[in-house]
Structures are given as C-alpha cells and as structure tokens.
Structure 1
Amino acid sequence: MENEVYEKDYGEEFRERADKAERKDFLDTLKDIGFFQAYKEEMDKIPKRVVPKEKADYEYLLTECDAYVRQFGGKIRGEVDYQKWQAAIDLYLEHFEFCDREALTLLKEIAERAENVTFSMKDGLLRMSVFIGYFDEVY
C-alpha cells in the first residue's frame, strides 16, 4: 500500500492576491483620516473593570504555561496591560509539542479560556501568544 500525501503550496496565489490588493483599501482610508485614533480615545473614556473569571483564567493559564515552558527550556512573559486593557501570555520555544494527555489537556484549556491564540516567529523562536479578555467596559 502506498502512503497518502496531500500537499499544496498557496504562496504564489497569496502573493498574487496581495499584489492586486496593493491599491489603498477601506481600512487604510480609515487609518489616514484618524478614525482608529478617535475610536481609541472614545473607548478609553469608558471605565473598565476586571472580570473575575477572566482574571482567574489568566492566572491559571500563566501557571500552567509556565510549567510547560519550564519542561522544554523555553521562556514565558505574561502581562496585564492597563493601557491597552488586555492580558496576554507569550510562550517562546524552539518547538511546541502536545503529545500526551496532560499537554493536550493544556492545549484544550488554552482554547477554552483564551479569546485568541496566535503562533508566530520572534528572535528565532516560535511564539505562542495567548490573549485573554481580563477587562470589560462598565456602562
């Protein structure tokens, strides 16, 4: 029996779409007229509060992610930002591996407790950024 392989490279297609989109789009126009800055200033006027469940999620994930990076010799940085009104945990490793029940459970908990998870490269390491709501507007 032969191996089954599915492989596709969308790089050229992506670059072609990006080249066609070089013209100024709607978001660039909004940025140029200062819409996002005005929106930020108005949002900053609304009082914020810490959401107890989100705070607990942040603290739990920070502890669990710290144990995970310690196991693989990585780095971790957690920040609760009172200017941007967000909380994030960044894990830095040469690779991420979720191969046993405990690690897969951590990955599932991250997915359940976070608002957003992003993987990227920074300083030659893989970075997993975990964003948690933490704050809410008080109306």
Structure 2
Amino acid sequence: MDFKGELKDSGIDLSRMSSSYILLLLSYLRINMNRNPDKPLCCYRHYQKIAEDTGLSERYIGRIVEILDTMNIIKFHKMKRTRYKDANTDVKFSTTPKIFADYRHYIKDSNGVSIPDTEYDYNTEISKQIKLMQKENITI
C-alpha cells in the first residue's frame, strides 16, 4: 500500500504513519459494519471506543480516517454535537459517534465473481443510518 506516494500533495500529515496502522483501522471498520440486510451497510463509533479496541490513539485514528476518506476507501460523516444542560443548568456538549461506510460495495455475479454493486451509494447508506440513529435516539 503506497499511500505516501498517492497522498504526497494532499496536505495530510503522513509523518510516523504506517500502512499497518491504516490496515488495522480499515479491518476494524469493515468487521464492525452491519451485515444485516435490514440495516444500512455502516458502522458508527466514537474515536475513543475505536482507540480502546485497537490500541491506536484518537489522534492517529482521526488522521487514518482522513487518509481512508481521501483515498476513497471509507467515507465518514461527523454527527452534530448535541447541546444539553446539566444539573447545575450549565451548558454542555455531548459528542456523537462518527458514521463510517464503504466507498464501494461488491456483490457476487452468477459465476461467483465479485463485481461492483451499481445500486450501492454510500451517501444513501449513511442517510439511512442517521435516520435509524435518530429513531432509536442513539447518541452514545
């Protein structure tokens, strides 16, 4: 994976970045994507939860997500931070999870060969996930 060559003019900080870190996060996201046909082909996580599960720092995770997005491998959507008042009526903010979806999705044809799914659109999948999260009132 020659990501440094592909991204040298992108302005993304690639210092001390290893392809093994990128592959670790990509594998983590793909494993956690919904495979249930009744749900969107997405996953949603806080960077903190990903950091706990993978051992990568939240800063590295943010940089890797930016790399995967720029390379059109994984696309993501930052949810809006929610505002609330605590017991002392102080205004606080709650960070909501990021939603991740594959840029492309592949299906098998009649011969068992993987082909791009022409009906798949990551924006549609992310929109479905947002609606599902709002319906279930998921902010954690």
Larger RCO (CA under 8 A, 6+ residues apart): 1
Higher strand share: 1
- Indicate the structure (1 or 2) with the bigger Cα radius of gyration: 1
**TM-score of Structure 1 vs Structure 2, range by shorter chain:** under 0.3
Could you tell me the TM-score, scaled by structure 1's length?
0.26
Structure that is richer in helix per residue: 1
Structure 2-normalised TM-score? 0.26
